[in-house]
Structure 1
Amino acid sequence: MINGSESAFSELFELYNKTLVNYVYSFVKDKSMAQDCVQDVFMDVWIYRKKLQSTVLVKPYLLSAARKRLARKLERDHIFFKSTNTDNIEFALDFTIEYKIIADEQQLAQALKLNEILNKLPARQKEAIYLRYFQGLNPQQISEILEVNYQSVNNLIHRAVVHIKSQWGTDFSLLLLLISSNI
């Protein structure tokens, strides 16, 4: 893609477009704005592809670019008093469960319980959990996306996990299974 391969760019777009649109949508709840921001990100990637390093980690880079693009768009639209970051925007993703992959009633009940617990987390913790366990990013990558230090990310994740464990109850092994299967 860096060398101008349109098919590689198309593959990149197909691979990450939905994830990025969902991520941006979780902030603004406006599908059209989310799609516009993501299209702008991909347009910039194509235009400035020669300046990209071949060692860049694609998913964290694109998530960060989408978050920054949204902040710039909101600043331009004067929605958040010329904010240059997304600190004023609440990460509002509601975790949902893929009911079709949950076969038995007990597992479904536990998945619903986890869904409820995750959705009650503070916005910043919810975003950190989303990026860590649902997007598979490491704390360093998350710190770059959220523009906070590494320790802050670890603290956010730790507080979220402690809260989840306290709300969950005794059988923590099933909780880990549910989270690791991205439910």
Structure 2
Amino acid sequence: MKSQTLYIDTLDETVLWRNLKEGDEKAFSFLFEKYYGHLVRYGNSFSPFPEKVQDCVQDVFTDVWVYRQSLNDSVVVKAYLLSSVRKRIARLQERDHIFRKTTSMDSIEFLFDFSVEHQLISDEATEEKVSHLNELLNNLPTRQKEALYLRYHQGLSVEQIADMLQVNYQSANNLLHRAVVNLRKEWKGDLSLLFLLSSSLF
């Protein structure tokens, strides 16, 4: 365990990805352990069937290992894995007719429930306000909500979000901007909470 921890601490993800491509099982195992939970939670935002989501995530990692030599050298690992899970779930839903057939994810509802209490609540007095903020976040249009999730919860750049959503940079930036504008329209409380959220997005 100590040697595994040392290995993890001394290599960045660019090196880990390169090592994985060269067949390093420790690099693969580390990336699996680091991102498996994130990917499952993201996948669950598109599907009410957690077992199928877990299968999709495992299939993504299987493909990463099997086809590792043909993978792009320069990737942002987190963004690549999230995008791969998104595409695989879309194909699964299309195949199983869970949703109407589509060549994109545009018609699929993003089911994730925002809950930002642990980041924004500083005392009990703000609990009701943050609860209202969560409600506003969860009532956003699905594409705005997903863009906000990818930026706020997953820390992706606007460029990475655009790539995942298969839109151009300006469209992704517009989704984020409209999400914040919509929140500001409905928000009746202290603007400092919205400012804190907005500053973390841009």
TM over 0.5: yes
Matched residue, 1:50: 69
Matched residue, 1:27: 46
Once the two structures are overlaid, the 10-residue window that deviates more, 173-182 or 105-114, is 173-182
Letter in 2 for 1:110: K
1-structure distance, mates of 2:198, 2:58: 30
Q: Tell me, what secondary structure is at the counterpart of 1:88?
A: coil
CA RMSD of aligned residues (A): 2.3
Matched residue, 1:40: 59
Question: For structure 2, which runs of at least 5 residues remain unmatched after alignment?
Answer: 1-19
Q: CA deviation at 1:179?
A: 6.6
Give CA deviations for 1:33-61 in whole Å, capped at 9, x if unaligned. 11111111111111111112232111111
Cα 1:16/1:155, change in 2 over 3 Å: same
Matched residue, 1:65: 84
What are the residue-to-residue correspondences of 1:47-126 with 2, within 5 Å? 47-98=66-117, 102=121, 104-126=123-145
Matched residue, 1:146: 165
Cα 1:31/1:145, change in 2 over 3 Å: same
1-structure distance, mates of 2:119, 2:176: 28
Cα 1:179/1:106, change in 2 over 3 Å: farther
Question: For structure 1, which runs of at least 5 residues remain unmatched after alignment?
Answer: none
Give CA deviations for 1:9-49 in whole Å, capped at 9, x if unaligned. 11101111111111111011211111111111111111111
Cα 1:107/1:159, change in 2 over 3 Å: same
Contact map agreement 2:152 2:200 (CA 8 A) in 1? no
Q: CA deviation at 1:102?
A: 4.2
Contact map agreement 2:129 2:189 (CA 8 A) in 1? no
Letter in 1 for 2:82: L
Aligned length: 182
Letter in 2 for 1:42: F
Q: CA deviation at 1:100?
A: 10
Of structures 1 and 2, the one with the larger relative CO (CA 8 A, separation 6+) is 1
Cα 1:174/1:101, change in 2 over 3 Å: closer
- Whether 2:24 is the aligned partner of 1:9: answer no
Q: Tell me, what secondary structure is at the counterpart of 1:27?
A: coil
2-structure distance, mates of 1:86, 1:52: 24
Q: Tell me, what secondary structure is at the counterpart of 1:28?
A: coil
2-structure distance, mates of 1:30, 1:116: 24
2-structure distance, mates of 1:27, 1:179: 25
Identity %: 56
TM-score norm. by structure 2 comes to 0.81
* Higher Rg of the two aligned structures: 2
